Amino acid sequence: MRITRVILGLLVYVLASGTLYAKRPVTEVERLQRAVQRQPGDMDKHCELVQAQLAAGDTAEAEKSLDYALKMRETPCLYMQRAMIGVAKGEYFTAARYGAQAVKAGLRPSEDSMFFRIDSLSGGGVMLCLQRMTGEEKQNSNVWRGLGQMAQMKGDTIAALTYFEKAVHAGDTTCREVLKQLRPSEIAPTETDSVIARIPFLNQTGELELKGKINGLAIRITVDTTATQSTISGVETLFMLKNEYVSRDDIIDNIYVIVKRLEIGEGMVLRNIRLRYIENQDNPLILCLRDLERLGGIQINTEKRVLIVTESKITNSK
């Protein structure tokens, strides 16, 4: 009798548990997990699953789902969701890196407000990541277009023109219309401007590059209109030290290099320029617009590929 009662008790428990389980509603996460199992190649379902997991507060599972999906296919949706997880965890530069990968995979930044929020939270991290990508893949039109849209958002028309032109050159014909809209606002010399110099761009990498000299040493100068600090590479600095173009006295706190004479183009000279030392920088010398404007009024004609220096109240130090 006792054995019979035990068996009956177990049977009732199993039946009751099964009934309760059968009545429990399937969650949205479970539904999407089953859908992904049935169709593992459906990236839209992967995106929905990750969104549902994030909404449920399960960040760890969302990360696992994203890593699994990204192994099969790299899509803008998946990368942006990975960036959102970075934001949620307070890892803003990681978020910026994934946001840049989303652009590389085809995202149009202007269509995703989260993209600009990530850039803002990371202190311009998305733009920095995109700029690094241009060194890895110079013909990726998505990256150039993304940089153009970022520059346009920040009100830097000159940089936007440069980036959009590179996007067109890399095959993105949709940027032609944007260029037509931006070019009328490009600054050009007027009859009242007194032109001091016209410095042609070097036609090597497609960047805004000028020839120059540091204390007599020939150097390639890259003008970055978005940079806030002029920088010099570690390789260039060591070469100048070894060959006495600069001295140890010109190195400040092992961070800055003071250049007594920087010649730009033919005869345009800046004196006592402070350059930040960047050990792994690819470009020999990156000159920010603020330092360049010490020459005078700066006007950049991207169509004719020439930098124009005009008279200005800001005068070069002697």
Lowest mean pLDDT among 205-209, 210-214, 249-253: 205-209
Q: What is the pLDDT of residue 2?
A: 61
> In the chain, what percentage of residues exceed pLDDT 70?
83
Question: Residue 228, SS3?
Answer: coil
Any domain includes 169: yes
268 in the same domain as 166: no
33 and 113, same domain (yes or no): yes
Buried b (16+ CB within 10 A) or exposed e, 140-167: bbbbbbbbbbbbbeeebbbbbbbbbbbb
Kind and range of the H or E element at 223? strand 217-224
Residue 219 has pLDDT above 60, yes or no: yes
Residues 149 and 46 in one domain: yes
Q: What is the per-residue pLDDT for 107? A: 87
Burial of 294 (0-12, 13-18, 19+ CB in 10 A): middle
pLDDT in tens, 247-270: 888 888 888 899 999 998 877 888
What mean pLDDT, rounded, does the chain reach? Answer: 79
The reported pLDDT for the residue numbered 313 is 42
**Tokens (6 digits) for 32:** 């999407």
- Res. 138: pLDDT tops 80: no
CB 237 within 8 A of CB 217: no
Q: Strand 268-278 relative to strand 231-233: parallel, antiparallel, unpaired?
A: parallel
Is it the case that residue 128 has pLDDT exceeding 50? yes
Same domain, 202 and 178: no
Phi, psi of 115 (to 5 degrees): -60, -45
Q: What is the pLDDT of residue 209?
A: 86
DSSP-derived secondary structure for 21-72: HHHSPPPHHHHHHHHHHH-TT-HHHHHHHHHHHHHTT-HHHHHHHHHHHHHH
Look at 157 and 187; give whichever has higher pLDDT.
157
Whether 8 maps to a domain, the answer reads: no
Please tell me which residue, 65 or 311, carries the higher pLDDT value.
65
Whether residue 262 lies inside any domain: the answer is yes
CA–CA dist 188, 185 (Å, integer) = 9
What CATH number has the domain bearing residue 135?
A: 1.25.40
Could you tell me if residue 221 is inside a domain? yes
| pLDDT greater than 80 at residue 275 | yes
Higher pLDDT, 237 or 203: 237
Q: Is residue 186 scored above 50 in pLDDT?
A: no
Domain boundary (129, 154, 183) is at: 183
Place of tokens 């407000």: 113
Q: Are residues 178 and 200 in the same domain?
A: no
At 134, which amino acid appears? T
- Same domain (yes/no): 138, 210: no
Confidence check: pLDDT of 189 > 50? no
- Residue 214 has a pLDDT of 92
- Domain assignment present for 237: yes
End position of a domain, from candidates 183, 207, 239: 183
Give the pLDDT confidence of 65-95 residue by residue, as tens digits: 877 888 788 888 888 888 888 888 888 888 8
Helices (H), the chain: 2-23, 28-38, 43-55, 59-72, 76-88, 92-104, 113-121, 125-136, 141-153, 157-169, 175-182, 234-242, 289-292
241 pLDDT more than 80: yes
Q: Is the pLDDT of residue 58 over 50?
A: yes
Q: How many domains does the chain have?
A: 2
Q: What is the pLDDT of residue 3?
A: 65
User: And the tokens for 15?
Assistant: 């039946």
Tell whether 219 and 115 lie within a shared domain. no
* CATH number for position 283: 2.40.70.10
34/50 Cα distance (integer angstroms): 13
Q: Would you state the structure tokens that stand for residue 100, as one six-digit string?
A: 């840049």
Residue type for 98, please? Y
- pLDDT exceeds 70 at position 8: no
The parent domain of residue 121 ranges over 28-183
Task: Decide which of 157 and 78 is more confident.
Answer: 78
**Burial of residue 7, with CB atoms counted within 10 A of its CB: 0-12 exposed, 13-18 middle, 19 or more buried:** exposed
64 and 101 assigned to the same domain: yes
Backbone angles phi, psi at 138, to 5 degrees: -75, -15
